[in-house]
Amino acid sequence: MAFESLTEKLQRVFRDLRGKGKLSEADTKAALKEVRMALLEADVNFKVVKQFVKSIEERAVGAEVLESLTPGQQVVKIVNEELIKLMGSETTEIKMAQDRDITVILMAGLQGAGKTTTAAKLAGKLKAKGHRPLLAACDVYRPAAIEQLRVNGEKVGVPVFSMGSGVDPVNIARAAFEKARQDHNDILIVDTAGRLQIDEQMMEELGRIKEALRADWTLLTVDAMTGQEAVNVAKTFEDKVGVDGVIVTKLDGDTRGGAALSIKAVTGKPILFVGMGEKLSDLEQFYPDRMASRILGMGDILSLIEKAQAEVDEAEARRMSEKLKKAEFDFNDFLDQMKQVKKLGGIAGIMAMMPTAGASMPEIDESHMGRVEAMILSMSKEERANPSILNPSRKNRIARGAGVDINEVNRMVKQFEQMRKMMKQLPGMMKSKNRGGRGG
């Protein structure tokens, strides 16, 4: 997960400051040195780091003292605000063209950056918002790209226009626009050629397609895992053809996050979306404030809620919550819950969005979850609905079915019962907590 070690290091800095009643200049300097190191280790562009630390220093040492905050909190607040600023402050949304019925989005990027996948992800996202996109396959150099776009387009339910690989991409793009007009599509997403490295011909061709279609948005896809190289690529594309925004892919696999933190500052262009996985639903709108919050370990509950709303059936969630209250929760429900968790990216995916400030991350063992699932699947319908009938011989059979030790079945059933008991008490606990006045 992106920013893992940056988050950890920043939290250590803040923890050290937290206890202090007053910050001396030396304290601040020492803390800033740590922040600087943490950012450099996260592979943030060194000029960006320098400017960033300077801004924080000016503000931290300056007169800005708020009564309500301790000096340590004050620094966290400033770092948070500066991080948001660094990533562009505002969220950039794709606005529709005003002067014609079709908005043209050009997808640019180096081969392997995730451009073709992202084109389909974006098409799916826009479709879900009520648009009628058409995808156009103009990457005629990578043989598999056209087929890949067709397959992914089908998965997200968006039509794909292609003319094979023997036609000039500019002509394909023009024909795709015509097709979009005929079919009343309101968005045309054009997948252009990627090369292993930047070359003149690619830039020139991209420029020609951009001009021929009067592209409204030229979006550059870069791979987060390439770090500063991604930033250099973005700078070059911006200089040579001009881009309107950047999509940073594979943030899920990038533990450092330097590209996401440097792109806006270096290129002046905002990040619009981030790719968080290989699934076609793993494209997220980029919110500088939420990302800053994630980096600082304050969690990104808003994104988690949005994801849950998109992926989880609400009626089902309500039904479940009723069951929980009445303690009717059985193994069937447990299994359903595990499925919902999987949809949200597994426990690790959920934890990544949860606030971790001050708390250490619990050890989560997804393979254990897999075994729990296997045990429940080895139960009969009746056993799942009525766990109290689980006697030793039944447990033995379940253990054999799931390929685990009987002790593990015993443990799991015991934990399940404890959980059920706890849930029964939960409504009462919540009430007394609220009565306590100050809340959580």
One-letter amino acid for residue 77 of the chain: K
Q: Closest separation between CB of residue 23 and ligand GDP, Å?
A: 40
**Of 303, 375, 376, 317, whose CA–CA distance to 345 is shortest?**
303
CA dist., res. 244 & res. 211, Å (int) = 14
Closest to ligand GDP by CB, 43 vs 82, is 43
> Would you say 365 and 311 are in contact if contact means Cβ atoms under 8 Å apart?
no
Q: Where are the beta strands (DSSP E) in 256-368?
A: 271-275, 283-285
Tell whether residue 251 is among the known ligand binding residues.
Answer: yes
Q: Closest separation between CB of residue 157 and ligand GDP, Å?
A: 18
Q: What is the DSSP letter of 276?
A: -
Tell whether residue 110 is among the known ligand binding residues.
Answer: yes
Tell whether residue 239 is among the known ligand binding residues.
Answer: no
Q: Which 134-163 residues touch ligand GDP, going by CB under 6 A?
A: 145, 148
CA dist., res. 278 & res. 250, Å (int) = 8
Q: Closest separation between CB of residue 175 and ligand GDP, Å?
A: 21
- C-alpha distance across the termini of the chain, in Å: 28
| One of 45, 74, 103, 116 touching ligand GDP (CB under 6 A) | 116
Contacts with 340 (C-beta within 8 Å, 6 or more apart), sequence order? 311, 312, 316, 317
| One of 11, 249, 267, 281 touching ligand GDP (CB under 6 A) | 249
| One of 250, 256, 264, 294 touching ligand GDP (CB under 6 A) | 250
Range in contact with ligand GDP (rule: CB under 6 A) among 18-26, 71-79, 247-255, 319-327: 247-255
Contacts with 161 (C-beta within 8 Å, 6 or more apart), sequence order? 134, 135, 136, 137, 172, 175, 176, 179, 180
Torsion 394-395-397-402 (CA) sign: positive
Q: Closest separation between CB of residue 108 and ligand GDP, Å?
A: 10
CA dist., res. 71 & res. 17, Å (int) = 8
Q: Which two tokens stand for residue 87?
A: 């990533």
**What are the CA-CA distances from residue 325 to residues 85, 127, 427, 435 (Å)?**
43, 37, 7, 19
Provide the total of helices (H) and of strands (E) in the chain, helices listed first.
19, 8
Binding track, positions 270-299, relative to ligand GDP; x by CB under 6 A: -----xxxx---x-----------------
One-letter amino acid for residue 169 of the chain: P
Tell whether residue 418 is among the known ligand binding residues.
Answer: no
| One of 159, 207, 242, 253 touching ligand GDP (CB under 6 A) | 253
The site for ligand GDP, by CB under 6 A, has a size of 21
Q: Helix, strand or coil for residue 226?
A: helix
Q: What is the DSSP letter of 275?
A: E
Closest to ligand GDP by CB, 122 vs 180, is 122
Binding status of residue 194 toward ligand GDP by CB under 6 A: yes
Q: Closest separation between CB of residue 223 and ligand GDP, Å?
A: 8
Tell whether residue 115 is among the known ligand binding residues.
Answer: yes
Q: Closest separation between CB of residue 199 and ligand GDP, Å?
A: 15
Binding status of residue 115 toward ligand GDP by CB under 6 A: yes
Closest to ligand GDP by CB, 17 vs 138, is 138
Tell whether residue 300 is among the known ligand binding residues.
Answer: no
**Of 230, 309, 306, whose CA–CA distance to 271 is shortest?**
230
Binding status of residue 117 toward ligand GDP by CB under 6 A: yes
Q: Closest separation between CB of residue 144 and ligand GDP, Å?
A: 8
Q: Closest separation between CB of residue 14 and ligand GDP, Å?
A: 29
Range in contact with ligand GDP (rule: CB under 6 A) among 53-61, 244-252, 259-267, 429-437: 244-252
Closest to ligand GDP by CB, 229 vs 408, is 229
The binding site for GTP comprises 109-116, 191-195, 249-252
Provide the binding-site residues for ligand GDP, judged by CB under 6 A.
Answer: 109, 111-118, 145, 148, 194, 249-250, 252-253, 275-278, 282
The binding site comprises 109-116, 191-195, 249-252
